[in-house]
Chains A and B, each alone.
Chain A
């Protein structure tokens, strides 16, 4: 079974731009969660989608948004990029909402200049 895939793997943007990251979950998984990982803050939960509905949201500003499509693929968008948005963005898929069944993708490394 194919794992979680994320595209692109690397991205360089400048301040003020916007970016869209994509995540394809494991086949059959309906839950997709997004995380931001930085050296200083560690892994922080952004939001979780299940069957196209956002079920949970972390403490991030409204510049961070996401959506999920009917095939469970998910996208995350960050508008008006700031230098502090430079991070590894990880997507995790699960057949449920438990951390016990979450499988992480390889991540998208975003650098904001």
Chain B
């Protein structure tokens, strides 16, 4: 079982819709969770971090964490074509090691 799993997609949504990206992790003791965005040919950049159960909002982005279900999600409201990228979920486990999912490719259709 992989440490972090994501649906690879591709996920396509129309402009203005909500994009929902999901991630599960295997280490129940993990405490730190991150979402990165990676444009084609570019390096990953941090979008959101979340440490506690519940929702965390930052502009059009909302991260959701459910530790009991070992599930993290990212919602992008009012999706824009510029949001088209690969989204990486990352988890810091109990051994202070960082694991990334393989990423979900998102395309926002104008």
A residues within 8 Å of B by Cβ? 33, 35, 40-45, 56, 58, 90, 97-100, 102, 104-107
Question: What's the count of A-B pairs with C-beta under 8 Å?
Answer: 46
Contact B43 A97 (CB under 8 A): no
How many B residues face the partner with a CB closer than 8 A?
19
Given A56-B97, A99-B34, 10 more pairs with CB closer than 8 A: A41-B102, A42-B88, A42-B100, A42-B102, A97-B96, A98-B32, A99-B49, A99-B90, A104-B43, A106-B42
Given the contacts A42-B88, A43-B44, A43-B88, A100 and B49 also touching, CB distance less than 8 Å: yes
CA distance A40 to B2 in the complex (A): 13
Q: Is the interface of A mostly helix, strand, loop or mixed?
A: mixed
Whether a CB of chain A sits under 8 angstroms from the CB of B78 is no
Contact A56 B96 (CB under 8 A): yes
CA distance A58 to B90 in the complex (A): 14
Q: Is the interface of B mostly helix, strand, loop or mixed?
A: strand
Whether a CB of chain A sits under 8 angstroms from the CB of B45 is yes
Report 19 cross-chain contacts, Cβ distance below 8 Å, ordered by A residue.
Answer: A41-B102, A42-B88, A42-B103, A43-B103, A45-B99, A45-B100, A56-B96, A90-B43, A98-B32, A99-B34, A99-B92, A100-B32, A100-B34, A100-B46, A100-B49, A104-B44, A104-B45, A105-B43, A106-B42
What are the residues of chain B within 8 A of A33 when measuring CB–CB?
98
